[in-house]
A = this chain, B = another copy of it.
Amino acid sequence: MALDTLRLLASCPDRPGIISTVSGFLYERGANIVRSDQYTSDDGTFYLRMEFTVPTGHRVDLVETYGLAVANPYGMSWRVADSRYVKRIAILASKADHCLVDLLWRWRRGQLPAQVTLVASNHPDVAPTVESFGLPFHHVPVPPGRKADAEADLADVLEDQCDLVVLARYMQILSGGFLGKIGVPVINIHHSFLPAFPGAGPYERARARGVKLIGATAHYVTEDLDEGPIIEQDVIRVSHRDDTARLARLGADVERTVLARAVQWHCEDRLLRHRGTVVVF
């Protein structure tokens, strides 16, 4: 018997009986729960992620009846993701290629549960690299004073091409209008341990401040620069001997690892946004 693996993500005001209702509903439809995570936030919101297998024939009925049978009585926000659906990723980069190349190699090795569909950049430098992976490359320059036009071009490039946009050291601020227009989540990697050193030049400022660890932060992009919900962070030890160039080189290893983890988790439907933060299941 063929099985589908589905992932239910749900949130609602906490009250007794939610797990019993959900798991009972799933059991009646022949599902087997393989992983379940829940969390109730300080403000009383219940979050749930259940991964379960279900006979292929039961899938449609299960999804169709869930709303009426379970979600409505609990006032639940929910979605069911099918693990067979491979999310499409568009990557935006600028000149630095370490995060881009890292993602492309993971994808080529089959380690990224996603399909990279295109790469776009405001510079042409990474074109040969992208093309060596057999991927379309789009050069969308951002001339001074023409940001709105560039964003319109970029939106055209991305339209219907992706379920997620990854900013792999894309050194342009995206407007709220652009984010609204593309309508898919955007993940950015910032080269500091936020909220330390938001904005430009974090390695220079880390050096001037004499910090003993530098870091990187992957976050969902919102209109507020470097203020979006944090998905993942990591750090590496440095010393006074490491000048800014060396901080940038050491930091690059952290950036690519942190970004890869965030993208992986997003594609595995393990991330739920809760106010300004992210629950990682």
Contacts and interface: CB of A to CB of B under 8 A. Distances in A.
Copy tally for this chain in the complex stands at 4
A30 B196 CA distance: 44
Interface string A229-261: 110111101011101000001000100010000
A212 B197 CA distance: 16
B39 A19 contact: no
Interface in A1-54: 15-21, 23-24, 26-27, 30-42
Contacts of A174: none
Contact of A212 (B30, B98, B233, B243): B233
A73 interface: no
A43 B15 CA distance: 35
Given A20-B26, A101-B105, A233-B212, A40 B34 contact: yes
Nearest to A16: B32
A233 B212 CA distance: 6
A137 interface: no
